[in-house]
Amino acid sequence: MIEPRGRRLGVDVGSVRVGVALCDPDGLVATPLETVPREGAARRVAELVAEHLAVEVVLGLPRTLAGREGPAAEAAQAFRAELEAVLTVPVVLHDERLTTVVATQQLRGRVKGRKQRAVIDQAAAVAILQGYLDTRR
C-alpha cells in the first residue's frame, strides 16, 4: 500500500484526447476510466478527482529514449499547470516512455476502428499509473 492511502488518477495527455485511469484505494491496481477530449480536459479531470475522491493525479511525462524532454514533454508540463489551477490535490509527473507503444501492441486485434484510439489512450493512462504505483511500493 502506498501513502497516503486513497485513489489516484493516471493521465495520458495528447493533443486530441486525454486518457484517464483510476486505481483502488490501496494503490495496487490501475484500471481504465475514460477518454476525454483535450479541450476542457483539465475541468473533466477535476470532476473525476472529486467524484472518486482521488488524493493525487499522476500525469505522464513523455521523454525521449535518451531521457530528454521535447515538445511533447512541454505540452505535458503546460497541462500540469492547467490541472494545478483547478485541483486541490497534488499533480505528480511520471516518466511515460513507450506507454502508448506498449498499449497499442497489447490492444492490437482486440479493438477496431474509431474506438481503438480512445481505448489506447486509456490503456496508456493505465500503464502510467501502474508504473507509478509499482515504483511506490
Give the model confidence (pLDDT) of 24-56 as tens digits.
Answer: 999 999 999 999 999 999 999 999 999 999 999
118-135 per-residue burial string, b: 16 or more CB within 10 A, e: under 16: bbbbbbbbbbbbbbbbee
Q: How confident is the model at residue 98 (pLDDT cuts 50, 70, 90)?
A: low
Residues facing residue 23 across a β-bridge: 30
The grid coordinates listed for 119 are: 481505448
DSSP 47: H
Q: How confident is the model at residue 85 (pLDDT cuts 50, 70, 90)?
A: very high
The distance from CA 48 to its chain's CA centroid, rounded to whole angstroms, is 12
Taking the whole predicted model, whether its pTM rises above 0.95 is answered as no
